[in-house]
Structure 1
């Protein structure tokens, strides 16, 4: 985790210790709070996004004509509970992911700054966010596998009661597929860390440029509307750049189809569906992640401010 090669001559373990010393539990709590609240609000759209992402023509999959039709169909067949299939691992996953992401990201940023007040460059923000993303993914990937499996239990599928909940899914996946089953989609997930890295880089750069435009100090806090705007723009930018990996990852984690790895998913998706296959579900995804990102960042900024600077 050495972003400044040869930084003050410390060994690799020394760098790790420096990063650990910069970690603040307040950032973990603030990120977790934002992640949980945003997930509870937009989970039904996440369910829609995943179902569209894996729509590869398999016969047992329900056919939907659009976002509203999908939500209406699930509501009619399974009620509110159907729209919230997989919400438990999603809340755990999103809460843990956002909490850990901000926890690691702010610590790595503080380490790179090393007590200096100079602003980080776009590249430093990008690398800091990427490293935070890899650490977070490694800890949370099993949760995301269970969420995908639970979301893809269709009412028309005779095996839909395969998993009774998050814990049951974790145990059954481990027993039948081993550790590798819990880490399905990990490799495309690593590519996906570029999504978070691009989003955080864009978020930091937008804030910096806006503050310069307003001629306010670099450490000045933005108001709620300004935070919402910068969070939305940075999320839209990141989604547009990286969405295909989410389709590949969802298909690898899907229990109804079998692929021989990431390359096989890419080849078969391209052959059967063309380029558009890699962007299935992007509209419900944008509708979901943009407000979710805004909620997460606004809650994070306010909770972290309250915890770290309660004056």
Structure 2
């Protein structure tokens, strides 16, 4: 999914064009063509090392906290939770996983958006992490924490949609079981529901984390005020197309992995 992530980030963070000038990218196709012409295939994979390192702990925390949250509401293992309880467990999992995701997101964004002209400011994941730490300590590495937590706040909806669609699949199955097809569909639709709500927060987070130090002194509030004043509400959904294109296969793959792992561990 990383090539679509790079396109998404570049659409979200491109500067406003000067009066009478066209934007840097007209849309997802134009961004794809210009990235390939300027950087080749390698350009689509800028910053991939950070999410590769972070993806395992992020989703481990996400699903572990979700499972723990569900157990808080259960008096016994056979008790079926209602969707309000599932929403609360999912909300907690999103907040906790956001805390793990912040530094990898920050490093990824800086590598994806650094200028192509002149010597590179960052040469890789470790170089970026070291320079950020020297620049502002852990605070610099965790810049955008509140924004990342806001982006993950629809996690309750994410799990509710997944569980609701799987419940429907169980009711329609003669044996009362879920299938790989139902998991793919439920996971994909959960991703679309999540990102439809999270896209504006993701844009604000991307702009905050990729901006030079001191640009937004009040964090995400400053980003929001600046965006509303200069570009209007429509800009909140810039980069939404690649987000929604990747949402279905990305989250379908996540839930397939989780269900396969659960079946294996049960076995």
TM-score under structure 1 normalisation? 0.78
Among candidates 29, 47, 56, match of residue 86 of structure 1: 47
The answer for the alignment partner of 2:5 in structure 1 is 46
For 1:9-28, what aligned pairs fall within 5 Å after superposition? none
For 2:144 and 2:154, the matched residues in 1 are separated by 15
Residues 235 and 140 of structure 1: is their aligned pair in 2 closer, same or farther, counting only changes over 3 Å?
closer
RMSD: 2.0
Q: Paired residue for 1:288?
A: 246
Aligned partner of 1:300 among 246, 251, 258:
258
Which residue is equivalent to 1:267?
A: 225
* Mapped partners of 1:163, 1:209: distance in 2: 49
1:256 positional shift: 4.8
Counterparts in 2 of 1:179-194, with a 5 A limit?
179-194=138-153
C-alpha separation between the residues in 2 aligned to 1:179 and 1:129? 27
Structure 1 residues 259 and 173: alpha-carbon distance in aligned structure 2, compared to 1, 3 A threshold: same
Provide the rounded CA distance (Å) in 2 between the counterparts of 1:193 and 1:83. Answer: 24
Instruction: Name which of 201, 207, 216 aligns with 1:251.
Output: 207
In the alignment of these two chains, the number of paired residues is: 261
Q: Deviations over 1:81-125 (max 9, x none)?
A: 211001011222223211221122123323432433111111111
Q: Please, which of 158, 164, 168 is the counterpart of residue 199 of structure 1?
A: 158
Gaps of 5+ in 2: none
More relative contact order in 1 or in 2 (CA 8 Å, sep 6+)? 1
1:59-78 paired onto structure 2 within 5 Å: 63-78=24-39
Unaligned 5+ segments in structure 1 are 1-41
> Matched residues in 2 for 1:208 and 1:52: separation?
37
In structure 1, the residue matched to 2:74 is 113
How many Å apart are 1:58 and its aligned residue?
Answer: 6.6
* Structure 2 match to 1:146: 107
TM-score, with structure 2 as normaliser: 0.90
How many Å separate the matches in 2 of 1:68 and 1:129?
34
| Cα drift, residue 245 of structure 1 | 0.6
Question: Deviation string for 1:186-219 (max 9, x for gaps)?
Answer: 11212122222211121112212332344654xx
Distance 2:77 2:183 in 1: 25
SS class of match (2:81): coil
Separation in structure 2 between the aligned mates of residue 293 and residue 140 of structure 1, nearest angstrom: 16
